[in-house]
Each structure stands twice: as C-alpha cells, then as structure tokens.
Chain A
Amino acid sequence: MPYNQPHPLEVRVLTRRFGLPNSQSIDTYIANEGYQALEKATAMSQEEIINEVKASGLRGRGGAGFPTGMKWGFVPRNSPKPKYIVVNADESEPGTCKDRLLIEYDPHQLIEGIMIAGLAVGAQQGYIYIRGEFRYLIGVMDKAIDEAYARGVLGDNVLGKGIKFHLATHSGAGAYECGEESALLESFEGKRGNPRIRPPFPAVAGAYQCPTVLNNVETFCAVPTIILRGAKYFADLGSPKNGGTRLFCLSGHVNRPGVYELPMGFNLLRLINEVGGGVRNGKKLKAVIPGGSSCPVLKADECDLAMDFDTVAAAKSMLGSGGVVVMDEDTDIVKAALRIMRFYAHESCGWCIPCREGTTWLKKLLQRMDDGMGQRSDIVLIGDLSKNMLGRTFCPLGDAAAMPTIAFVEKFREEFEAKVAA
C-alpha cells in the first residue's frame, strides 16, 4: 500500500526513511542511522534517558498529549516485579491512519524506540498490541522482530552488551475501546476489553499488574531521534512545550489527502490549503475536526490556529491523534454527527451506564433527526444527553462521544433546526 506523495513543507523526521528502497528491512534501517540511538542509550543511565525525553518536550501521540518523559518517570524503579513496555498500536480513532504507516514502512524505528524505553525503566520485555484489523501489519512487525533477533539487536545479549530485551506482537480483536490503555491491557491479558479502575495507573500496575510503560506507536518512534540527535534538536522542531513533529492525517474534502509530517504548531489553514492543496472542487471550507472523531469540530473561521496541544485546547478542541477531517460547505453536519455517534454507539464497551445508554440513545435521536422525523425539542435533548454523559463515564470514550456532539449542536444549531423544519 503506497503512502501519499511527500510535500515540500514537510519536516521529515519520523518518516525520513519512508520511500527508501526496502525501507522496512533492518539493512536499510541500519544504513540510515538505525540502532545508533540504542547504542548510545546503552551508555546512558536511566535518569539520563528519561531526562532527555523530558527535555525534548515529547508528548503522547495517542491523543491525550501527556508528557512522555514524565510518564516514564512514574514507573517505580525499585519494584521487585518485572516491568513491561506495551505499545498501543490499536490505531482506531476515525480519521487517524499514521501508526500503520510507521509500522509498515519503518518497523525498526519502533523497535528501537521500545528498546530505549526498556532501558529507561529497566524492562526486559515488550509487547506490541496491534489492532486486529491491521492483520497485514502483524506480519510486517513479526518479520522485523525476527530480523532484529537474527542480528543480535533483540535477545539475551542486546548489541553484545549483556542486556536482555525481548519483543513480541499481540493481536487485538476489533474493539475501539481497546485503544484506551487500561482496556488494552485487559484485552492483552486475554480478558474482555473493559477499561480498568484507575488509579493505579499502568506505570504502577499495568500488564499483569506489573509496572508498565504504555505509549502510542508514534511516541515510541520519536524516541530514537531524541536520543540520537538530542533533546534540543527535537524540541526546537516544534512549538514551546510541544516538541518535535507530528504526523497529521489529512482526510475529507481536500485535494491531497494523506499523512504529512509537520512541525508541531503548524497552522491548520496552511495544512489544508498548502499541504493538502485546498478544499476539493473549489468548494468553501465549512468545518474541520482537528484530531480524530472525538475532538470537537472547529468552524472554518476558527481554523487559523497553530496545531499544537495547547493552542488547539485553547480553541476548546483537541489535537488528539492527529486525524484532521476536512468538511466542505456541502457537508450535512447532522449526518456527520450521526455517523460519528453510530461509531461510538457501536464501540461503547457497555461497562458504564452513561456511555452505554447515552451513545445508543443519541444515535437513535440523530438518526430520527436525519430521517426528517425530529422535533425542535430533540435539539435541546441532544445537547442535554451529551452533557449528561460528559465527565460521568468510566473511561474517556463517553467524553469522546459527547464532546463532538455538543460542539456540532452548539456551532451548527441552524443545520439541526433546518432538519427539524424540513
């Protein structure tokens, strides 16, 4: 599966090996700075690695944007239990399609990032939890792991330095919910993918109740560059407190949809108009979902902003997982809201009442509205139900369903009213 044509405005750091012949092979990787960061990290203390990651300003790429170095620092160093590295490759957020490319075109970068995390916290075992639908990636990853074992990168004597590190893949079974870290761990342990009560957080009690570092694929992939080229290099790529680049997954009504690596803080309108070649068919921009389906929609006039965690949060949305969904002037917002709510109703795990019942009710309500059977009071009800879910669910999935819905109703109320009147 070819990825999109690169764009000149891109700053290719994590994707710099994409497009090289045989980019997924260990030979190509090693010939292009591969495993040099690991070599370097073996000479560093755990503190030094963690401090480097902290200084880089790397924030979790799964969506929440939690500082990665700080997360690693939470792992109790003197715990007598084994420690684990678990990779969240359960990429399922609608609008997001970057982790698959990182695995498909540069699996060794991920392996190296995982191994450095292992050094940082003293883990000797890693697992890559890959979304069940990404079956083809399991083969790619397994092949890369086999190569790494064959070259003495993985195993009981990593790079001949007497360090142990083992790595294996684990297939998910098709639940969006398992992208939530604690549900992922439940599923990983072979149980039903319900989220766990937190605290304790995975850093303290994760896989098999042992201390666990759990990060997104893109997060781990950034680590080798941070170690090799230094925290400052990485931090300077982005905007303040938002180190590095970001893989933006541009989709929807644009001329050049694709995954583009751009500095943190890149302007959203420039992303759409310059990198993405503008709105398709010369239409006007109506709205953008800036970070995957769970992020509140931005109206066209709100889109002139820097794409980093803090700026997008200030605009009352989220940078999320980098899934930028562009909607042109012909977009039916009620249909869009319905499509998103169908997804959440389908993916709600059923554990807690507000999410389980709320998403289903909202789905039915939006469907009825889209069918032209809505009433004016339903518009209020949609907003009410969403707010009644918000902040009251067991895990963030309820919020993820409620927040975009609230935004759709607040920002495009006239479209809902038009459906009712019709």
Chain B
Amino acid sequence: MADLVKFTIDGRELEAPAGTLVIEAARQNGIEIPSFCYYEGYSLQAACRMCLVEVERMPKMQVACTLPVMANMVVKTDTEQVRNARKYTLEFLLSNHPLDCPVCDKGGECELQDMVFRYGAGESRFTETKLHVDEQQWSPVVFYDAPRCILCFRCVRACDEGMGVGALGVVNRGAMSLIAPNHGDHLECDECGQCIDICPVGALTSGTYRYQTRPWEMEHVGTVCTHCSDGCKTTLGVRGDEIVRGNNRDRSGINGEFLCAKGRYAFDFYNHSERLQSPLMKVNGKLEPVSWSTALKAVATKFSSLQTSGGKFGVIGSNQTTNEENYYLQKFARQVLGTNNIDHRRTGDVTTLVDALSGKTGKLAATTDFYETPAVLVLGADLAVEHPFLSFQIRANYRHHAAHVYAVTPDVVREDQYSVQSIRKPAGTEITALEGLRSALAAESGLVIAFSDSVKGAAVHTLVEFGESLGIPVKYAALVDYTNSRGAVDFGLTPELLPGFQASGQVGLTTGEIVTATDLAALWVIGDNPLQSATLGSTKAFVVVQDMFLTETAKNADVVLPSASLYEKNGTVTNGCGEVQRVKRAVSTLGTKPDLEIIGLIAKEMGSAAQMGPWSPDAVYNEIRSKVNGYDIPLPMVLMGAQQTAPVNGRVGVEPRPELVRSAKENLFTSGTLGRYSKILNSVIERRAGHAPSEGNS
C-alpha cells in the first residue's frame, strides 16, 4: 500500500494513501463532494465540474475528481465560492434539461433532481427556448432521450471499459452533443443495460421498465438471478404483485451493480401466458386441470403403492431449484422412496475438481478472485457471453490492476482484446496448451484458472497437477451452466454421491439410464426437461412433473404440478464459485407452489412428514448446516452476503462421471430453459439476428 499522507478537508484532519483522489478521500470520510461524471471504477473525465473545491494556495478552484491528496493539503468543500459553483453549474445543466420529471422514469431516483434539491438554486433564470431532439430507440431495451442527457459519459465508459464492447460514442459538438451508437442507428452490444442503469438522469431508459411505474411505488426485493451460474444478486422492483424491473443499483452482493441482459430483463418468463397455474392430471389420455389435493393424493397414492411393490423409481432434479429443495428431494428419494436413481443435468466437472484438490484448502476461486488475482487463465469458455459477470470481473481486474489474462479457447473471445496470450485450441484439447504457458504462468504471483466442460475427468487432474507444480498460489473454478448447478452437485442430485460429496454406496441410475430403462415404474421430474429430445423407455411408467410450463416432458406426464420460479420462493443457491446466497420471494403466481412445499406435501400425503421434517426453507437449511460438508454457514452470514462453501477435504469416495458432464453452452443470446419464455429476451435475440453482428462478439 502506498504511504499515508495527512491532509485537511473542511477542518478535519484526515489521512489516506498517497494518490487517493480528493473526492474519494472525502467520501470515505463522510464528506460529500457531488459529481456526475466521476464514477468509481471508470476513467476520469473532469467534465461535469460539480466537484470543484477550494484548495489553499491554489489560485483557482480545483476539480476534486482528478486531484490526488497531497501532504498538508487544505481542502474546503463548503465555502461560498464552492456552493456558488455547484449552484450555477446546476443552473447551466437545467438550462437545456426538459424538466419533464413528472413523466420521466427517473423521477424520484434521479441524481440531477437530488443535486438540484441539495445544491441548486430556488429559481430559474433561463427564459430561452430549449434545444430539442426526438427520442431514439437503439434496441428493444434501450431508448435515448437526448434532451435529458447531461453528457456525463458514464454510459460510454460503462460500455467501453466495463463491458469491453464500446457500442456508444459522442457525436456533434457543444450543446448539440449527443450520445450515439457507434453502429448507425442501433446498438451492437450485449444489451446488458448497464448504460441505462448508470445514467444519472432519465436519458437512457429501459424498454421493459419505461412508463411502467413511479420508482416510489415499488418494493425492492434482493434475490439472485435465476439464469447463469455466476449468481449475480438482482434487486427486483416489484409493484403490486408484478416484477417491473431488475437491477442492482445499491451495489450490494458479489456483482456490485453488474447485471447482464438476462439478469436485467429476462425476469418476465414468470408471468408468461403459458405459465401453469393449476395441477393437471391425465384423464382419458388428456391432461385436465384438477385441484392440488386431488393431484397430490394421486401422486402420493401411486408412489406409496409402487414403493410397496418394489417398483423402480427415477428422480430427475433441477439446476434451478434451491439448495433446500435439492437436499429435501434427494432425502425424499433416498429415505422415503428408497432409491439412488436420482440425477440432474451435469454441466461442469465440479466433482473431479473437488477430488483432485483433496487435501488442499483455499483452492476454489471465488468471484472476487477474478478481480483481485494478478493473473487469470481461461480454458474453453467464451466468458463474455457464457459467464458475463466473471468476464466483467476480469476486465475490471485488467483495468484496475493490469491483470495478466491468458485465454485458451476454440474461438475468438473478448478476452483476446486485453490478454497477454490468446491461444486457439479445439474444444477438449485446451490443456495441451498448458506446457507452453508454463514459464509465463510460473512468473505470475497468483493465478485463477477457470475451465469449461471441455476440461473434464483426467484433464482436470492434469490441470490441477500443472497448477500445483507452478509454485505460485493457484485457485480453480469449474464453470457450470445454471443458477444452482453447483448446488445440485453439492446436494447429491447424483446417483453416486450424497450431499457433501459422500459416496452413496449403491450407485443408482443416471438420467440417461432412467429415461431409457424399460422397467421404470415411476419417473419424477422436478424442473428439468429430459424428454425434450428423448422418448421414455418405459411405457408403463407413472410420470410426475413439477414445472412452470408444459414442457415436452410435462406433456408426457400423468400428473403435472405447477411450481414456483426462483423469484417466487425463499431459500439459498450456490453459484459456480461455491458462494452461497439467499434467494427471496419477490412475487407469487396464483396456483403454483414452491417445489419444496410440493415435495413436503407429497411426503405428508404418504405419511412420511415426520421422517422428512418441516418443509420450510429455514428448517431445511438448519438441517443442511449440520449434515452437509462445507455448508455449516450461519444463515445471518449468508444474509449479509455470499459465503463460499468449503466442500470435502479428502478424496471423493467414488469415481467421478466426467462422461456425463456436458454444458448446454447457453449464452446471452440463446434463449435457454427459462429464457425461451421471456418475451423481451427473445425480442433482443431476434433483433440481434437481424443485424447479423460480426463473429466472436469482439
């Protein structure tokens, strides 16, 4: 750390590391210096002139956002001159601002409003005609209302520096300056919407949120995004019983304010018109709506009789259900149904990694490690579109810490723009590039290695041996697909492993074996769609499906139980980096129940309620803490923020099954299991296809 220097702001003697900007030093000590263009993490602009302060022995006022603290510097932020500078800068700003606050999305949470309220003049002296430019739509989700724009250039930097996309620029001059897309009249970008989020005023507005509500009419529910495994915290704006917005403006959670297109917009699947709102039962070969009690009784009766008669059960769990649901489901399968025939879609070889790292601690990379570690090696993944938050972290690491990035991938990836080495290797052969990187990597002072599903089985062992031979601290991340893919493995949704990577003893059937088994008596699918591209081998199997939609699998069911989405329930999920986070119910959809409750009710109908225990998320979580390796994390700690789990610290007791690992390679622009029900995501994808962007998203 740089040396501390002593200085004075507003009469308070303070100290901060040399090089700290006055604006930061002041804010860290609770002294507000207002700014529009200064934005932590992005390049300095000194454009808005809101942060002018007086500094003793300097003739003119200085901009606090580019001025580093110096020894014995005396700064004054609350003098007549400074107050006037703020007041009149705001007067200038308002001179061409439309003041359409009553109909502006930003009204109520607008930084310009707040600044004028705090520092502005009480009257307006501007009597001329204001400039006007018509509103433009740049994409299905991004609108630009130029007159409101105060030209702070935050959006330009968020896109260029934060996302590595650079879709925005500035055109024209003087008061006619406009923010504009760099590709004609439309954006060619990730549609992450951070430009909208970061806009201090209502110049950039969201296609999904605009004119929906006043900000103060919303409840704000902090939960975890249900799409990829990065596990970004998203704060859902809920009005009545409707989600109208997703963002994370309070910068809480592992992701700060980062969200991608899916996290920000693709929440609307939950109220899709095809959403199931009543249990269905097959009557005369046709699925008909029935009451919950009828459906549950039917399932319980059938399960009980099949269990008594020794029928073969197959249970397929989900990558998108909570840890509590996963734990409860496998417990039900193993203890009530008496079967290890339980599986889920495996998307990354977590098990082999845990096995290869046995005996070592602190080896699993957390999301912060992608930002803080001096070097990052990416194997096989196109992070920018598959794991947008990790990609964002690496870019920030590169900008702020000059991190060395190495990419070994089949195709061009965005990391190439700032990597020290990019190597092209066909999928599955990435590790052949390792030896060539040995001397460069061994010279680093710390390394994070993230690998996709194309590094699995023996290759993971090779990779870990390589990493451990470098003689530097190395952490690893096995990339997985969905919001709780990691939780599905950790909680034993596999035939060979119990929760906490303990051997299940008698290995049951895998998903593929369940689906093809001709003697299967019952198939129970929770939140997956195994029959999307397969036919069930057993013709007489009793099929129960818990899902939000009538999927291909649900259409083949005898009983369909409508389940709640991740935004409609409480519990915890574990992201790809093993960080456990709390999900919180934002809304509820009439007629649906959380999977945990459905499983509990089936258990109750079968008379197994006592054995299964209560089906409240907190009760199950308490059981998890005492029973599952690595999860002894007090709930308040999870509530405060993500806590990384520490799974088994010894060999995994069974042979991992790398042959079952296969990522769906979903990315920002494939609709995915839930995305296909998101209208806004589909409109973005269609529009994007229409513009046929260049290859490689770079």
Which A residues are closer than 8 A to B by beta carbons?
175, 177, 192, 197, 345-354, 356-361, 364-365, 368, 381, 388, 391-394
Contacts and interface: CB of A to CB of B under 8 A. Distances in A.
A396 to B, nearest CB: 12
25 contacts: A197-B44, A345-B174, A346-B173, A348-B175, A349-B173, A349-B174, A350-B177, A351-B45, A352-B47, A352-B48, A352-B49, A353-B48, A353-B93, A353-B151, A356-B174, A357-B92, A359-B174, A360-B174, A360-B175, A365-B128, A381-B125, A388-B84, A388-B85, A388-B92, A392-B85
Contacts of A351: 45, 47, 151
Interface in B100-156: 125-126, 128-129, 131, 150-151
Given A381-B125, A392-B52, 5 more contacts: A197-B44, A353-B151, A354-B49, A360-B96, A365-B128
A358 B92 contact: yes
7 closest A-B pairs (Cβ-Cβ)? Answer: A350-B177, A357-B92, A348-B174, A388-B88, A360-B175, A364-B128, A391-B60
A290 B234 CA distance: 61
Contact of B175 (A197, A345, A391): A345
Nearest to A192: B170
B170 A350 contact: yes
A400 B128 CA distance: 23
Interface residues of B, number: 35
Nearest to A193: B173
Interface string B156-199: 00000000000001101111110000000000000000000000
A175 B52 contact: no
B89 A361 contact: no
B93 A357 contact: yes
A354 B36 CA distance: 13
Contacts of A356: 92, 151, 174-175, 177
B81 to A, nearest CB: 10
A353 B84 CA distance: 15
A362 to B, nearest CB: 10
A206 B107 CA distance: 42
Contacts of B172: 350
State the main secondary structure of chain B at its contact with A.
loop
Given A357-B93, A357-B96, A392-B85, A350 B174 contact: yes
Contacts of B88: 354, 388
A347 B173 contact: yes
A363 B593 CA distance: 65
A62 B88 CA distance: 31
B386 interface: no
Contacts of A354: 49, 88-89, 92
A355 to B, nearest CB: 8
A356 B150 CA distance: 10
A192 B173 CA distance: 10
B399 to A, nearest CB: 16
A2 to B, nearest CB: 34
B95 interface: yes
Contacts of A175: 173
B132 to A, nearest CB: 13
B61 interface: yes
Contacts of B170: 192, 350
A364 B126 CA distance: 10
A154 to B, nearest CB: 35
Interface of B: 44-50, 52, 60-61, 66, 84-85, 88-89, 91-93, 95-96, 125-126, 128-129, 131, 150-151, 169-170, 172-177
Nearest to B152: A353
A90 to B, nearest CB: 15
Contact of A357 (B66, B84, B173, B175): B175
Nearest to A389: B92
Nearest to B85: A392
Contacts of B91: 388
Contacts of B52: 392
A140 to B, nearest CB: 28
A356 B91 CA distance: 12
B119 to A, nearest CB: 13
Contacts of A348: 173-175
A283 B347 CA distance: 90
A391 B177 contact: no
A354 B88 CA distance: 8
Contacts of A177: 173
Contacts of B174: 345-350, 356, 359-360
Nearest to A375: B127
A357 B95 contact: yes
Given A197-B66, A393-B49, A361 B95 contact: yes
Contacts of A347: 173-174
Contact of B126 (A350, A361, A393): A361
Nearest to A352: B47
| Most chain B beta carbons < 10 A, residue from A353, A356, A364 | A353
B92 A353 contact: yes
B581 to A, nearest CB: 39
Contacts of B60: 391
Contacts of B66: 197
Q: Which among B60, B89, B93 has the greatest number of chain A C-beta atoms within 10 A?
A: B89
A352 to B, nearest CB: 5
A190 to B, nearest CB: 13
Given A351-B47, A360-B174, A392 B89 contact: yes
A365 B172 CA distance: 22
Nearest to B59: A391
Contacts of A392: 49, 52, 61, 85, 89
A354 B37 CA distance: 14
Contacts of A394: 46-47, 49
Contacts of A353: 47-50, 89, 92-93, 150-151
Nearest to B88: A388
A390 to B, nearest CB: 9
A350 B92 contact: no
Most chain-A Cβ atoms within 10 A of its Cβ — which of B49, B131, B174?
B174
A392 B150 CA distance: 17
Contacts of B177: 349-350, 356
Nearest to B176: A350
B198 to A, nearest CB: 18
Contacts of A345: 174-175
Nearest to A196: B46
Contacts of B61: 391-392
A395 to B, nearest CB: 10
Contacts of B45: 197, 351
A205 to B, nearest CB: 14
Contacts of B128: 361, 364-365, 368
Contacts of A388: 84-85, 88-89, 91-92
B262 to A, nearest CB: 33
Contacts of B131: 360
B23 to A, nearest CB: 14
Nearest to A387: B88
B373 to A, nearest CB: 27
